Structure 1
Amino acid sequence: MTLIEITLPKTIAKALHLPASSPRRQQLKVLKKLLKKAKLTEFGQHYRFDEILMSKHIGKRFQQLVPTHDYNAIYKQWWNKTLEGKRDVCWPGKIKYYALSSGTSESASKYIPVTEDLLSGNRMVMIKQLFSLRHYDDIPFANLRKGWLMLGGSTELQQGKGYYAGDLSGITAKKVPFWFTPFYKPGKKIAKMSDWNDKIEEIVEQAPNWDISFVVGVPAWIQMCMEKIVERYKLATIHDIWPNLSFFVHGGVSFEPYKKGFEKLLAKPLTYIETYLASEGFIAYQERQNAKGMKLSINDHIFFEFVPFDDKNFDSDGNLVENPTTYMIHEVEEGRDYAILLSTSAGAWRYLIGDTVRFVDAERCEIVITGRTKHFLSLVGEHLSVDNMSKALQLATEELNVSIPEFTVAGVPHGSFFAHHWYVASDDHVDAALLRNKIDQHLKELNDDYAVERASALKEVYLDVLPEQTFMDFLESKGKIGGQHKFPRVLKGNMLQDWKAFLSKTTIS
């Protein structure tokens, strides 16, 4: 008997066995549910949700009447009212929680509304993901009943006028279901700690007392935590202290750059499970073992639309144009990059989340994350995506047998032309010139536009190898240590200037 069978009420388990239907039908059902719930809100009245619900083509009418929004647009017109305590603005009731999110490029915190409906939907997706494990081969199901170390933000939330704000991981941990409490680590006391270094130290201290089978979190911070445990207790691998460790649930960034360094800490392979949990909702999860992508949560609490990520729909800075071309789930094509629009059970409506994805299996609704709408380089038309960068780096590190868990790239002037400047993190011995040449060559093979521009206006590629700790220290200097914080793969504007100033100070000291 598994943890799931022991703890889940029969009614919930029964609800998960949903009748098979087309993705389009499932998505329209979700949209109707969202519109009905929010039709009496200020937003619903303004954009005539009643009329949309009566339409024969509800999806198309929704797209005609409701405009697209980025964060600044929806916050300025709508969400700011909820922070003042106003009820029934974009979702029924009062918003009591906000996920603080600054993405990976902007310094000002964004206040993303979090409702009980959203959290309930997130939990349902999490349970579905657990159920999907029964399709995996050689899964040690007995380990599901052991400890789950979830490394996230503090549950000690900031208090505003009638609301609380913090990392979504902290809000989620604060509201852990009762049936999960016996398995949840590091426990409420440690989870409440706001100082990341103190939290890690306490986890290291308690590590011998736990029997951990699952670790959940951003790869860089999970790896750092395990390294400190191995170092403290003079272990060969993390399995010397947690012999039942079997699963790593990760998300937010590509795991490939971390994999080589991560597996040095293991005595036996782990089952890797990818998730796509954003502040706005639980978007997708890996449903099948060794699947190339993650399955979108299309029949729960999110209605998806997809905007082709091209020059027609986005300007040179990655901003969405007015009236972009948008597609529903049944209209997408495999192998094409799309930006995601979300409408959710927390009052996000046609909201640009900022991520770009590619469908690897449209029939199964499986996607991979390819980057961010503002995290790409196209100084002279090279159209270089984060996906291109990650793949080129992965190929180069495999050829050189080195571990590079972090990297970032900036576009810089080069005389009258331009260049790319790579900064990579590695504690291995790395031949910077050789790595630079291999990355450059792989990018030419992966991206035709890049190859063309390298022969014309993109004149040079620079590469600096830095200690891994330098990247972590920069995040800490920006107040982005731990939890869900990730290093930006492309640096632009103020963040690039801050990075250069930080490196200058580090070199001097």
Structure 2
Amino acid sequence: MAVLGEFIKKAIDVYGFISGTPDPAKAQHETLRALLTKARLTAFGKKYNFTQLLSSGNIVQAFQDSVPVHDYDKMYTDWWHYLLEGHQNVTWPGGQKYFALSSGTTSHSKYIPVTDDMVESIRKAAVQQVLSLKNFDLPADFFGKQILMLGSSTDLIEKDDHSEGEISGISASNIPVWFRGYYKPGAEIAALRDWDEKVKRIAEEAPNWDIGGLSGIPSWIEMMLKEVISHNKLNTIHDIWPNLQVYTPGGVAYEPYKKSFEKLLARPLIFIDTYLASEGYIATQKRPETTAMALITDNGIFFEFVPFTPENLDEEGRVKTEAKVLTIGEVEEGQEYVLLISTVSGAWRYMIGDTVLITDKQRAEIKISGRTKHYLNVVGEQLSVHQMNAAIEQLESEFDLEVQEYVVATVLRDEDYVTQWIIGADKVVDPTSVAQFLDNYLSENNKNYKVARTKALKKVEAEVVHFDKIYRWSQEFKKLGGQAKIPRVMKEEDFLEFEKYIRSLV
């Protein structure tokens, strides 16, 4: 395997050097033209006259003037439901082989079309990620090790004319033949739908594997590692996988998990972030000197950016019709934007639901800063998940806590607005002190929040519970593993139900 590792590393060095990096603005213009060309004869393309748009002197402006912004509800109600009924050539040429099921964090199951072109796009993006490994100075023997990808079941739900499952399961079921020898947990375990059974089997098989890299959402990876360590009576995960060197958290902010995660390791890992959503493979980290990810600008996805300000979004977190929309060539570094995508799966000017921070315009590098519906702005507090994560990170240091999850909402109680935090940690500490700390930190670091505290936002409260309680809620009302994520912000009605459930647990 060492010889094979040397061969793969040299191939990556050579091919990665040859392939280079495209100019983002130019690549995006060509991507949009290719999308419009291929979809011009679909029902969607005919409605919005893609053929005419292609002859425009300014194809981007013509596209933005003609095609409205869509969220999932609008895309599904107006178009995608026809695909589920078996129609073809609706928003992308041909029929529909896969649907990605996404429970998201704010709604019930969504059905996101995944076309053959999107499967190929995801494969190409994965190759870009592999090529970027040449920048991380990894030893040659790493390239002969196995990769444990913890995702949802590859045993897809079979319907009359299509298959359904989470995007991680669809992607894993389409991995290239050459990669299958490196892929763990392997086809049999990956097909298991029961999370506890899957983790149990991984723990049992762990001594037989030589894992060099991990991939998956931090909360579920951490739970899996703890089970492997417990089952095999280890001190750290490196006792059983001494060659573990790389972890890709999958686009989920790693900072809230850092303190507890590091206790499971004998030495630090190299973190290489990726951004795979149900709607496509968005970005991947390409260099070690930053934690930002580079948008994949030449791979079937056209990106647009809406400044993330209250005047551009309605109370449901949707982009307003009059909002200014920018391309990659027009954004500003250090600014936060709502991300829109148009893709080879037939999503058009689609609100993916994430907000991103532009960190390097020339390299098209971003960081995920939050969710459009996880933006707390009930009484003008204007708190993003990015700011909440920073507050939680400081809270961990101040109180010697390991915070795994948290949920926050602003609710109306006795005619006063109160911001309530439920924090899942490794131990319970004084809630009044926690609430005061969070309140002070956010007041010092967010002027809008500070103003809100002098007006409508009358009080801040916190409840610190063991994180297992939040995971039990996820297991019952969402599910464990895969793409399931704990919401950071809830609406009042949902939060009160969540709070009631948490308090009912012994």
- TM-score normalised according to structure 1 size: 0.95
398-407 or 167-176, which moves further after superposition? 398-407
**Superimposed CA distance per residue, residues 230-255 of structure 1 (whole angstroms, 9 cap, x where no aligned partner):** 11121110111111111111124210
Paired with 1:152 and 1:340, the residues of 2 have a C-alpha distance of 24
Letter in 2 for 1:118: M
Counterpart position of 1:255: 254
Q: Is 2:150 the counterpart of 1:121?
A: no
Distance in 2 of aligned mates of 1:434 and 1:471 = 21
Shift of 1:288: 1.1
What residue in structure 2 maps to residue 282 of structure 1? Answer: 281
CA 187–161 in structure 1, closer or farther in 2 if over 3 Å, else same: same
Whether the 8 Å contact between 1:356 and 1:369 is mirrored in structure 2 is yes
Distance in structure 2 (CA, Å) of the matches to 1:292 and 1:41? 39
Match of 2:60 in 1: 59
Q: Distance in 2 between matches of 1:344 and 1:10?
A: 30
Q: Report the Cα offset of residue 172 of structure 1.
A: 0.7
2 CA distance for matches of 1:413 and 1:366? Answer: 39
Superposition map of 1:66-465 within 5 A: 66-106=67-107, 108-137=108-137, 139-428=138-427, 430-465=429-464
CA-to-partner distance for each residue in 1:282-336, whole Å, 9 max, x for gaps? 1111111131411111111100001112222211231222243211111111222
- Deviation of 1:140 (Å): 2.7
Query: 2:111 corresponds to which letter in structure 1?
Result: Y
Q: Distance in 1 between matches of 2:421 and 2:263?
A: 25
Tell me: CA distance 1:245–1:377, structure 2 relative to 1, closer, same or farther (3 Å).
Answer: same
Gapped runs of 5+ residues in structure 1? none
| Higher mean C-alpha deviation, range 228-237 or range 397-406 | 397-406
Q: Secondary structure at the match of 2:409?
A: strand
Cα displacement string for residues 245-285 of structure 1 (whole angstroms, at most 9, x for unaligned residues): 11111124210010110010000110011111100011111
How many residues were matched structurally?
A: 505
2:79 and 2:90 in contact (8 A); partners too: yes
Which stretch of the first structure deviates more once superposed, 479-488 or 413-422? 413-422
Q: Contact between 2:142 and 2:212, CA under 8 Å: does it hold in 1?
A: yes
8 Å contact 1:258–1:403 — kept in the other structure? Answer: yes
Separation in 2 of the partners of 1:290 and 1:464?
37
Q: Which one is further off, 38-47 or 412-421?
A: 412-421
Question: Would you say the 8 A contact 1:100–1:165 is kept in 2?
Answer: yes
2:32 equivalent in structure 1? 31
Cα distance, 1:266–1:393 mapped onto 2, change above 3 Å: same
| RMSD, aligned α-carbons | 2.1
Q: Judging changes above 3 Å, is the alpha-carbon distance between structure 1 residues 2 and 463 closer, same or farther for their aligned structure 2 residues? A: farther
CA distance in structure 1 between the partners assigned to 2:110 and 2:502 by the alignment: 27
> Does the CA-based 8 Å contact 1:7-1:179 persist in structure 2?
no
- Secondary structure, in 3 states, of the residue corresponding to 1:405? strand
**Counterpart residue type for residue 406 of structure 1:** E
Shift in CA distance, 337/349, structure 1 to aligned 2, threshold 3 Å = same
SS in 1 for 2:373: coil
What is the Cα deviation at residue 416 of structure 1? 2.8
> 1 CA distance for matches of 2:4 and 2:501?
47
Distance 1:20 1:171, change over 3 A: closer
Q: 1:8 to 1:161 in 2, by over 3 A?
A: farther
8 Å contact from structure 1 (residues 257, 404) kept in 2: yes
* Distance in 2 between residues matched to 1:8 and 1:402, nearest whole Å: 40
Q: Which one-letter code corresponds to 2:73 in the other structure?
A: N
1:123: how far off? Answer: 1.5
**What amino acid sits opposite 1:25 in the alignment?**
K
CA contact (8 A) 2:427 2:465 kept: no
Q: One-letter code of the match for 1:260?
A: K
How far did residue 429 of structure 1 move?
5.0
1:18 Cα deviation (Å)? 4.4
Deviations 1:347-401 (A, max 9, x none): 0011111111111112221111111111111121110111110011111212333
Decide whether aligned partners of structure 1 residues 371 and 85 sit closer, same or farther in structure 2, where only a CA change above 3 A counts. same
Aligned mates of 2:170, 2:75 — CA distance in 1: 22
Q: Determine what percentage of the aligned residue pairs are the same residue.
A: 43
Q: Is the 8 A contact 1:2 1:144 kept in 2?
A: no
Deviates more, 1:298-307 or 1:314-323: 314-323
Distance 2:127 2:11 in 1: 13
**1:68–1:323 CA contact under 8 A, matched in 2:** no
Q: Is residue 338–residue 353 contact of structure 2 (8 Å, CA) maintained in 1?
A: yes
**1:48 Cα shift?**
0.9
Answer yes or no: is the 8 Å Cα contact 1:105–1:495 preserved in 2: no
Q: Which amino acid aligns with 2:437?
A: K
Assess, with a 3 A threshold, how the Cα gap between structure 1 residues 134 and 21 changes in structure 2: closer, same or farther: closer
Instruction: For residue 245 of structure 1, give the secondary structure of its aligned residue in structure 2.
Output: coil
- Distance (Å, rounded) in 1 between the aligned partners of 2:373 and 2:159: 30
Distance 1:493 1:95, change over 3 A: farther
* SS of equivalent to 2:214: strand
Kindly state the Cα deviation for residue 124 of structure 1 after the two structures are TM-superposed: 1.2
1:19, distance to aligned residue in structure 2 (A): 6.2
- 1:446-504 C-alpha deviation (Å, 9 max, x unpaired): 21111111122211111111111111110111132111111000011553243123124
Shift of 1:412: 1.4
> Residue 5 of structure 2 contacts residue 142 of structure 2 at CA under 8 Å; is this kept in 1?
no
Write the distance in 1 (CA, Å) between the matches of 2:241 and 2:250. Answer: 22
- The amino acid of 1:383's aligned partner reads Q
Distance across 1 between alignment mates of 2:36 and 2:300: 11
C-alpha distance in structure 1 between counterparts of 2:20 and 2:255, whole Å: 36
The secondary structure found in structure 2 opposite 1:298 is coil
Q: Report deviation, 1:70.
A: 0.7
With 221-230 and 306-315 compared, the bigger mean Cα shift is at: 306-315
Distance in 1, matches of 2:23 and 2:156, equals 40
Q: Which amino acid aligns with 1:84?
A: E
Q: Deviations over 1:175-205 (max 9, x none)?
A: 1100100000000011111111111111111
SS for the counterpart of 1:438 is: helix
- 2: CA distance, partners of 1:290 / 1:407: 29
Q: Contact 1:251/1:277 (CA < 8 Å) preserved in 2?
A: yes
Paired residue secondary structure (1:312): helix
Amino acid corresponding to residue 448 of structure 2 in structure 1: D
Distance 2:352 2:15 in 1: 32
